[in-house]
A = this chain, B = another copy of it.
């Protein structure tokens, strides 16, 4: 189901602004701040208000279509929602942010539940270091 349909199903409207934010995020090579999204949207069409970008992101977040991540620079960054979305490797050299693939999150959950009785719900792992290429 596409976003337009999803929005309408939930009682919201599809607008050019929302479509643009969504398109930018889908084509993004990295995790973008609201302002970066704003810049990219504005490159394509006449200015869209920053407040509308924030409102759109909040809405898409509510619908679990996008997710905000904090990678340590204290600004919100946004990406499409997906299963591994809370697990980020940030290279301090090239700046690239990769999503972790694999079962590490499951390992962490099992470890915490078994060893500490802690029932993990949201696991947010951000690792800064050097990626394979930059080492």
Q: Give A contacts to B, CB under 8 Å.
A: 70, 72, 74, 89, 91-92, 98, 100-102, 104, 107-108, 111-112, 115-132, 135
Contact = CB atoms under 8 A, between A and B. Distances in A.
Q: In this complex, which of A91, A118, A129, A131 has the most chain B Cβ atoms within 10 angstroms of its Cβ?
A: A118
Nearest to A121: B129
Contacts of A119: 129-130, 135
Q: In this complex, which of A101, A116, A130 has the most chain B Cβ atoms within 10 angstroms of its Cβ?
A: A116
In the complex, the 8 A-B pairs of residues with the closest C-beta atoms, listed nearest first:
A117-B132, A121-B129, A120-B129, A122-B128, A119-B130, A124-B126, A120-B127, A119-B129
A125 B125 contact: yes
Contacts of A125: 108, 123-126
A45 B107 CA distance: 48
A19 B107 CA distance: 42
Nearest to A134: B119
A27 B124 CA distance: 28
A119 B92 CA distance: 10
Nearest to A126: B124
Contact of A130 (B74, B98, B121, B135): B121
8 contacts: A89-B118, A91-B118, A98-B118, A108-B108, A108-B127, A112-B127, A112-B129, A118-B132
